[in-house]
Structure 1
Amino acid sequence: MRFSPVRGAALLLVMAFVFASAHAQAGPAPLTLQQAIDIARAKNPTLLSGQQHVTATKASEITAGLRQNPNFTVSGADVSLPADNPSSPYGYSANVSRLFERGQKRRWRLDIAHATTDVTQSQYRDTERQTILQVKQSFTNMLAAKAALKIAQDNLDGYRKTVDLSRARLNAGDISNTDFERIDLQQAEFESDYDNAHLNLVQASDSLQLLLGVEKPADAFDIAGTLDPPSITVALPQIEQEALAARPDYLAARQSVQLADANVKLAVADGTVDPTVGGEYERVGTYNSAGFQVSIPLRIFDRNQGEKERTRYEAQSSRFAEIAARNQVISDVDQAWAAYDAALNVAKRYNSHYAAEATRVRDNLEFSYRHGGATLLDYLDALRDYRQVNLDALNANEQVWLSLHQLSFASATEIVP
């Protein structure tokens, strides 16, 4: 049988349409953490506002680099009278003058503008660092909410089987109606756990979408990731050194010292005398003449003493602020490391011992209860312990990731490989 090219093209179109429809029905693919961070950088309104502020600040460098404009003046007198009027002939004059700055004022203004742009840029990077931390925390919270919902769903489904089995035993006369009702009443707690877990997931999803710049949260929004604690190989001294090199708030503090020093130099320069030099052409009647003028302000009283004194103290204040910022960096890293170490120890205990033990106890007591070897109270206690231990293990893993995000935030580097 021959294969028609037209029929083949039609078949390809149909397959493409079916694939596109299936993809549309499947919804958007779950986001990874890195994808969420990239979207936040591109669409978060706070970051977009900060970017525009940096651009606006950089435009001040143009103003700072401008030179003084010359002044041009034209005047006339008695222009309605004839030129041969001996008592008051008409006259015209043109004057060009310009202020000449001394003390390298333009250079120091440019230094101030450049330093201000650097500080603003570092402040924006610090805002970006804080926003990324919020994205990481919201992403981790949503992962934990998804896992908690899964645990709640599994617990509810498993307990519903127990209720069904107990109803069958009640009908067979193996248990009393009171025992069955006690079992049935416990289901309300599992249902409540599921409803609360679902609410937490919805709220975590909305919080993350808000950080990603989404105007209206979508129910189909989903993420992908794991809460298994990762292993890191960096040591605390290395993280401290990386933090001192990368923290934008500390860099802004150092740049503020440069800005303060430039302000001191400009204040000194502003105390110098700036002469104004001009040239003049004049025509009176039938006579032409030229002249010049030099204007020099006599700075006898005002030599900008106040600004000189103020900027020197501001510069010293900036140096103390830099020391405080450096100490804060080290403290932040040390505290974040301590929190990570504590969270990791708790997670290891649950993952290596308690979670598996709670599962074994629940399975054994469930088997014993169904076969008459355990009491109802023992079985219900085992269910509560299993549920609580699993939630505690999930919270422990979540705290490991949150502490790692805080450590990355404190060091301004990615700690997780």
Structure 2
Amino acid sequence: MTSGRFGSLVILLSLALGGFALRAQTAPAPLTLEQALALARTRNPSLLSGRQHVTATRASEVTAGFRQNPSFTLSGADVSLPANNPANPYSYTANVSRLFERGEKRRWRLDVARAATDVTQSQYGDTERQTILQVKQAFTNMLAAKAALKIAGDNLASYSRTVDLSKARLNAGDISATDFDRIDLQLAEFEADTNAAKLDLIQASDQLQLLLGIARSTTTFDITGTLDPPALTQTLEQMEQSALAARPDYQAAVQSVRVADASIHLADAEGTTDPTVGGEYERTATYNSAGFQISIPLRVFDRNQGEKERTRYEAQASRFAETAARNQVINDVDQAWAGYEAAVEMATRYNNHFVAEAQRVRDNLEYSYRHGGTTLLDYLDALRDYRQVNLGALTANQQVWLSIHQLSFAAATEILP
């Protein structure tokens, strides 16, 4: 009785451990595009590095806001001589002085530092925008690779059934061994397509995992999504306005103008004279005295003329750069929009006409060939046309999505609902 209970316990424990091991080996759930983007924002090393750089740049605002420190000097003379020596009495001197900045230098230093931080933040935003585009492209390419592998697998399975049928016809004496060999040789082409599609999928998966910050790629990684072309509701004019309002590289160009303007004010302020005011206390033998000092540099030659002129030219250059950046934004959106329209036109032709037509031709010729109504070459041509048309449709749909990602990148706006 006891041994029976012990055996039951061992069986239950084994089942529990087996279930735990099965759960441990279960592949993670496939990622959606939104989940992949969220993962990239939190784990991509380049983005993590960029955020730290922004934080480091912001710390320079603290340095720019510092006021001038006072100076304290303490000195003594003849301190080792007797106090009653009238010829060389000891003396102690304490001096406190401070430089006072004029021309609102601290204010303009802060303005330059804050504007520089804004530029760095916008530059990081542009880095994030480019990384997000790379993730979207890699995600779409992996979806396309999965779909291409399915097409290659379906074609291989379909043709394998033809080979099996031909084998049966060979055994029954309906076809010659040479005809069967010709049929069997074509199987290598379909197997090669399948192997190439598997390799493309592995490489696309590795590229996406790299962008997501995964140190070592894994074969259990998977994604989910569709390549069906979506419909956009925005117009070209709306895309252009969104780009001008949101493009971080254009915002950086605008902020660089503010940096240049603040630098002009700082250069003018640096040309002003900063006095140094100090107070002094002295004790000589038994006598105490106090005094003060004011030091004013005479800026006869150096009035910061070079920096004043340089910053004004730099400001003008920044304004030209802003105009160039604005023109580039509009041009990027226009080109991305043209690419989207061309991709949609091609995908529409494939999806609404060629795919269904290629499938009808393949099905009819497959049926005809299996019943002796057509030649092997005609059937193989139909299979190749079907494969090429489906791959063409897949590529067209892929290009629609890539053009949408490019348009979102150009406008710095998520244009899909």
Q: Which residue of 2 aligns with 1:75?
A: 75
Call closer, same or farther: CA 1:390–1:319 in 2, change over 3 Å. Answer: same
Distance 2:18 2:202 in 1: 31
Shift of 1:86: 1.7
- Residue type of the partner of 1:275? P
* 1:120-159 deviation line (CA, Å, top 9, x unaligned): 0000010000000000000000000000001111111111
Distance 1:405 1:154 in 2: 29
Match runs of 1:13-412 below 5 Å: 23-412=23-412
Call closer, same or farther: CA 1:16–1:306 in 2, change over 3 Å. Answer: farther
Shift of 1:25: 3.6
Distance 2:381 2:177 in 1: 20
Call closer, same or farther: CA 1:20–1:229 in 2, change over 3 Å. Answer: farther
Distance 2:240 2:16 in 1: 54
Q: Which residue of 1 aligns with 2:7?
A: none
* 1:196-243 deviation line (CA, Å, top 9, x unaligned): 000000000000000010010011000000000001111000010000
Call closer, same or farther: CA 1:71–1:325 in 2, change over 3 Å. Answer: same
Distance 1:69 1:19 in 2: 70
SS in 1 for 2:289: strand
**TM-score, length of structure 2 as denominator length:** 0.95
- Residue type of the partner of 1:48? L
Distance 1:391 1:357 in 2: 14
* 1:219-275 deviation line (CA, Å, top 9, x unaligned): 100000000000111100001000000000000000000001011100000000000
Q: Which residue of 1 aligns with 2:3?
A: none
Shift of 1:26: 2.8
Distance 2:167 2:20 in 1: 48
Distance 1:336 1:262 in 2: 36
Distance 2:112 2:23 in 1: 55
- Residue type of the partner of 1:341? E
Distance 1:174 1:320 in 2: 80
- Residue type of the partner of 1:400? V
- Residue type of the partner of 1:245? A
CA RMSD of aligned residues (A): 1.4
Shift of 1:167: 1.1
Shift of 1:82: 1.5
- Residue type of the partner of 1:412? A
Distance 2:299 2:39 in 1: 58
- Residue type of the partner of 1:240? E
SS in 1 for 2:24: helix
Distance 1:269 1:251 in 2: 27
Q: Which residue of 1 aligns with 2:10?
A: none
Shift of 1:14: 11
Distance 1:302 1:183 in 2: 91
- Residue type of the partner of 1:36? A
Distance 2:267 2:179 in 1: 88
Distance 1:25 1:208 in 2: 22
**TM-score, length of structure 1 as denominator length:** 0.95
- Residue type of the partner of 1:301? F
Distance 2:330 2:75 in 1: 68
Shift of 1:33: 0.2
Between the aligned residues of both structures, percent identity stands at: 75
* 1:77-101 deviation line (CA, Å, top 9, x unaligned): 1111122212111110000000000
Once the two structures are overlaid, the 10-residue window that deviates more, 99-108 or 173-182, is 173-182
Distance 1:18 1:354 in 2: 50
Distance 1:162 1:415 in 2: 46
SS in 1 for 2:47: helix
SS in 2 for 1:294: strand
Distance 1:20 1:35 in 2: 27
Distance 2:316 2:82 in 1: 68
Shift of 1:177: 2.0
Distance 1:50 1:107 in 2: 28
Distance 2:283 2:167 in 1: 119
Distance 2:18 2:98 in 1: 76
Distance 2:125 2:15 in 1: 47
SS in 1 for 2:72: strand
Shift of 1:169: 1.2
Once the two structures are overlaid, the 10-residue window that deviates more, 327-336 or 22-31, is 22-31
